[in-house]
Amino acid sequence: MMVVFIFAFLLPTVSAAEQRIYDEANLLTNSEREALEAQAEKYSKKRKTDFLIVTITEETADDIEIYMNNLYDKEQLGYNEPHGNVAMLGLDIDRRDVAILGFQKAKDRLKAERTNNIRSEITADLSAGNYVTAFEDYLSSASNYMRYKPGVDPDNVFYQTWTQLIIALGIAVAVVGMMLTRMKSGITTTAGTYRDDSRTRINRQRDNYLRKTVTRVRKPKNNNNNRGGPGAGAARSVGRTSGGHSYSRSRGKF
């Protein structure tokens, strides 16, 4: 009896906080859901940020973004802490709405430009009903973007692996070339070899100021107040839950 008790105590427990795929629209099979859970868990541990996927129908909630906000607030989502780092993809299958929200660390690293890129990447598959492919691409892209600090352009060619390999190879070739050059004996003749610095001087210097023209352009007015709820304010790049938690956002149709 004691052995059974100890064995049961050592068994890992599965809590609601470990769930990362909320498929209320029943778009996935059991095997697809399990595979996505495993992939989400791998990326979550790697980036110390929970990557979530949420799907709903019009019967589940009135708005996908409000549903995601309430889920974050009520379930106290976050990687190893309540209301922590979360990147969340939401899908309303009936209204054809898709939203990506970032909380805490993900709010800083998944700002509008990056989440807009992710949403653009997966929209075609979502429209075609290739949900698993779209969800896999979301997890992979969001995890990749989380590598880079705010203000860094992850799509810059210098951050590509092949570019870094070429640069490293070029540096290696340059170093070897310099070493071989220094090993060669003899005197190197340059333009300075025959120059007499004691007799070399600047004869004359003159600066001509031509003219300066200043053109003023009136600054255009910004008449976009971005008013309305989460659905109406699709142009906004930030938001706040009813519980007071701010987040970055990208939203559109598919």
86 in helix, strand or coil?
Answer: strand
113: exposed, middle or buried (C-beta count within 10 Å: 0-12, 13-18, 19+)? middle
Which domains are seen in the chain, by residue range? 14-153+235-253 (3.10.310.50)
Q: Write b or e for each residue in 21-55: b if 16 or more Cβ atoms lie within 10 A of its Cβ, otherwise e.
A: bbbbbebbeeebbebbbebbeebbeebebbbbbbb
Alpha-carbon span 144 to 138, nearest angstrom: 10
pLDDT band for position 153 (50/70/90)?
confident
The separation between the first and the last C-alpha atoms of the chain, rounded to the nearest angstrom, is 57
Q: Give tens-digit pLDDT for 95-106.
A: 999 999 999 999
Classify residue 79 by its DSSP letter. Answer: T
Contact call for residues 88 and 101 (beta carbons, < 8 A):
yes
Strand boundaries in 26-151, DSSP class E = 50-56, 86-92, 97-103
What the block records as the tokens of 44 is 């979550």
The pTM is what? 0.66
The reported pLDDT for the residue numbered 229 is 43
